[in-house]
Each structure stands twice: as C-alpha cells, then as structure tokens.
Chains A and B, each alone.
Chain A
Amino acid sequence: GAGVSQSPSNKVTEKGKDVELRCDPISGHTALYWYRQSLGQGLEFLIYFQGNSAPDKSGLPSDRFSAERTGGSVSTLTIQRTQQEDSAVYLCASSPTAFSGNTIYFGEGSWLTVV
C-alpha cells in the first residue's frame, strides 16, 4: 500500500480480554517499529523489528505484551489480559532500513480503550 496501514482503527475491550493489533508496513520497508501514545506518557517506543527478528524489545511494558512479524511484512502486537492502563493509541511505523537518518513513516494508529 501507499502508507503504513493499521487495524483496527478503534477497539474497545473489556478488562482481562486479549487484543491483537495489526500493522501492514510500506512495501519493501525492512524496519518496523511499534510506539504507544498515551496522555501523560507521550510517545513511547515499544519494539523494533528488522525483518522478522526483534533486536530491541526494551520498551515492552510487561510480559503481557508481545509482538511478532512474519514474512518480513505484517506485524501483530498482542496484549494479553488487558488492563485499563493499556488504554492508548498504538502507532506502527516503518522505514526502508534501520539507518538512523532514515525517515520513519507512521500509520494512523489503533485506538485501544479498555473498560
């Protein structure tokens, strides 16, 4: 596609349920990032993929959070046993490579509300 695509755009879930958020990066981009945007915390890095491997998972807030990437393309962020503090916008981004000077392109985000 022309840009980074994320689904669902909005998700309301009950506390304790599992959720999956999907990201389809720009075609050919090998680097993929997940960020979380929440009130009071700003934009936080979660995890980085190069191809299908994740060299940096340092931002995942707990073991309830996991992510995978398959075929060097689509990525899924999974949150198990959701808590109210997980409510946030989850942004996916991609870049041609992991070079620090590259532009990172962001999707429009998945808005997660845990009730």
Chain B
Amino acid sequence: AQSVTQLGSHVSVSEGALVLLRCNYSSSVPPYLFWYVQYPNQGLQLLLKYTSAATLVKGINGFEAEFKKSETSFHLTKPSAHMSDAAEYFCAVSDPGGTSYGKLTFGQGTILTVHP
C-alpha cells in the first residue's frame, strides 16, 4: 500500500522568504508524485507532477519539487513567497501500475501562511 506523509500541518513564512513544504512517500514501486494546491472554498489545482522523467520538476507559480528516490522524498519549494501563495498544499502519490486507475493517495495537507 502507498502512503504519503507531509511533515508539518502548518508552515508560516515571511513574504519573500523561501518556501519549503516536505513530503515523504512510502511505496513498493517508484510512484508518480503530485503536488496540489487548494485555495479557500475552492477545489484542488495541480502545481506539478513527477512521472519518472526529470527528477527536478518545475510547476506553476514558481514552484518546483525534486524527486529523491534515496530519501523517498518529493519536497516542494519556492525561492520567494508571495502573499498569494497562502493556501493548503497536498502531496499525493499514485501507483504507475495499471490496476490503480490513476487513483491518488493524499497526504494530510500543509497550510501555508505568508506574513507581510
């Protein structure tokens, strides 16, 4: 079975500071990995995904993540936080095998707060 652990349910940064949101996964096979963002009262929007191509993945809004197999991690970073980045972020994993149907298993989420 796959699982995802997001370290830190809440992260607070100052505007302009580095954003680092941590995600570790557990999977018997190299998985596909995703980061989604959820703004208040909205659905989830894909930020970026890793599907076994380049290990450093660039996404929307200046975010990027690096797949590190040795550390079973897929941490999300952004060099300089904006106020508009305040939201909840979810890391998710799916099994590349055909029997998973693309189903996502999500972490518990990290709420990012950005201070002026």
Which residue numbers of A lie inside 8 Å of B, CB to CB? Answer: 4, 31, 33, 42-43, 45, 48, 50, 55-56, 91, 93, 95, 97-109
Pair A98/B102 contact, Cβ less than 8 Å: yes
Which residue numbers of B lie inside 8 Å of A, CB to CB? Answer: 32, 36, 41-46, 49, 51-52, 90, 94-97, 100-109
Pair B51/A101 contact, Cβ less than 8 Å: yes
Pair A104/B43 contact, Cβ less than 8 Å: no
Of chain A, the residue at the smallest CB distance from B109 is A42
Q: How far is the CA of A45 from the CA of B102 in the complex (A)?
A: 11
Pair B106/A106 contact, Cβ less than 8 Å: no
Instruction: List 18 contacting pairs A-B, 8 Å CB cutoff, sorted by A.
Output: A33-B102, A33-B103, A42-B107, A42-B109, A43-B104, A45-B104, A45-B105, A50-B101, A98-B101, A99-B102, A100-B97, A100-B100, A101-B51, A101-B96, A102-B102, A105-B46, A106-B36, A108-B41
Contact (A91, B49) CB under 8 Å given A42-B109, A100-B102: no
Contact (A45, B103) CB under 8 Å given A101-B32, A101-B49, A101-B96: yes
Of chain A, the residue at the smallest CB distance from B95 is A100
